[in-house]
Amino acid sequence: MRHFLTLKDFTKKEILEIVNIGLEIKKDLKAGIYKDELKKQTLGMIFEKSSTRTRVSFETGMFQLGGHALFLSNRDIHLGRGEPIKDTARVISSMCDMVMIRTFEHSMIEEFASYSKVPVINGLTDSFHPVQLLADYMTMIEYGISENAVVAYIGDGNNMTNSWMMLSAKLGFDLRIATPKGYEVDSQVLETALRLAKTSGANITVMNDPKEAVHGATIVTTDTWASMGQEDEKAQRIKDFQGFMVDDLMMCLAQKGAKFLHCLPAYREQEVSEFVLEAHANIVFDEAENRLHAQKGLMVWLDKQK
């Protein structure tokens, strides 16, 4: 049995297998073919933070695979009232076939997984958002931009940045990260990524100049400046991130025809201009839709490992 907590635990071959299963399932869905690959299975979904895409994609995905998904908000289950994680894990995993968790500290999901009898999927922690990167890579494949990609990530050194580092380190594409001073990436994650990159050949660089990062990039991406849980810092962050908005001037420095990706939700005129987001709306909303297909691929893959 395998859990899906970070991309660090997966080989390039496995990541590609998951994405390819997702692409096959997407093709079937577009042809009106539904295969009950997870018939009668139940996915427990624990949400300690808000979500639009993650909730809708996992719930819809499980239904389309012949199973059922349970939305478990921490306001409704005893976890939110102090029932220990290890007890919650043993109870839920005794009734469900898979569990997806969106929470704050990554250690919560690790503890849950260590007590779970069924696969646990990270639906976002403060440290990583690996399911998003499956959809992002699927989108890169579909748009023909996965080969020789040079990805520029502009903005906060957060869970998305950490996940981009892991994907780059595993798959071997180049990644430049530009953050404002004081908002750099986690040094331990960077160290791990640089070590893994030696095997894959990825070139991962970190800097504080967004223009330098974006110069010649084939893909430009960003994320909110204030992640969930950082709402109180928002005003300060808006000041500290001046010059880091991905606007059309910044996109002009990237390679001609460069694509823009965003995990969403997007804050217009903060991390991305209205113009850039709307100009790249096709790919950004395909990226969002691919959450459904990539996660179906992931659940089918995890079920096969049991």
Six-digit token string for 164:
């981009």
Which ranges in 185-273 belong to alpha helices (H)? 187-200, 210-214, 234-240, 248-253
Residue recorded with tokens 């922690």: 125
Strand locations in the chain (E): 42-47, 68-73, 98-102, 120-122, 150-154, 174-178, 204-207, 219-222, 259-262
The C-alpha atoms of residue 51 and residue 263 are separated, in whole angstroms, by: 12
Nearer to ligand CP, 132 or 273 (CB): 132
**Is 28 an active-site residue?**
no
- Partner touching 270 among ligand NVA, ligand CP, none, CB below 5 to 8 Å by kind: none
Beta bridge partners of 150: 174
Which tokens is 148 given? Answer: 């020789």
CB of 270 to ligand CP, least distance (A): 16
129 vs 237 by CB, closer to ligand NVA: 129
Find the angle CA(139)-CA(143)-CA(145) to the nearest 5 degrees: 95
Of 97, 126, 223, 303, which residue is the catalytic one? 223
Distance CA 59, CA 296 (A): 10
Does residue 291 carry a catalytic annotation?
A: yes
Q: Rounded distance, CA 249 to CA 272, Å?
A: 11
Largest CA distance in the chain: 54
What's at 287, amino acid-wise? E
Q: What SS3 class is residue 172?
A: coil
Rounded CA separation 127/135 (Å): 18
Binding partner of residue 159 among ligand NVA, ligand CP, none, CB cut-off 5 to 8 Å per kind:
ligand NVA
Binding site for ligand NVA (CB under 6 A): 124, 129, 158-160, 223-224, 227-228, 263
CB of 219 to ligand CP, least distance (A): 17
Q: 52 contacts which partner out of ligand CP, ligand NVA, none, CB within 5 to 8 A by kind?
A: ligand CP
Nearer to ligand CP, 178 or 292 (CB): 292
Using the rule CB under 6 A, give the single segment among 18-26, 48-56, 164-172, 248-256 that binds ligand CP.
48-56
State yes or no: residue 54 binds ligand CP (CB under 6 A): yes
- Interface with ligand CP, residue 53, by CB under 6 A: yes
What x-and-dash track marks residues 124-143 binding ligand CP by CB under 6 A? x-------x-----------
Among residues 55, 129, 176, 237, the one annotated as catalytic is 129
Cα dist from 263 to 86, 153, 163, 196, 244, whole Å: 31, 12, 12, 24, 17
Residue 295 near which of ligand CP, ligand NVA, none (CB within 5-8 Å, type-dependent):
none
Among 2, 8, 51, 255, binds ligand CP (CB under 6 A): 51
Whole-number minimum distance, CB 106 to ligand CP, in Å? 16
Tokens of 102: 């969106």
Q: Which helix (DSSP H) or strand (DSSP E) does residue 45 occupy?
A: strand 42-47
Contacted entry of ligand NVA, ligand CP, none for residue 158, CB cut-off 5 to 8 Å set by kind:
ligand NVA
CB nearer to ligand NVA: pick between 227 and 290: 227
Residue indicated by tokens 């639906």: 123
264 is a contact residue toward ligand CP (CB under 6 A): yes
Minimum CB separation from ligand CP for residue 264, in Å? 5
* Residue 132 annotated to the active site: yes
Return residues touching ligand CP (CB under 6 A). 51-54, 124, 132, 263-264
What residues are labeled active site? Answer: 102, 129, 132, 223, 263, 291
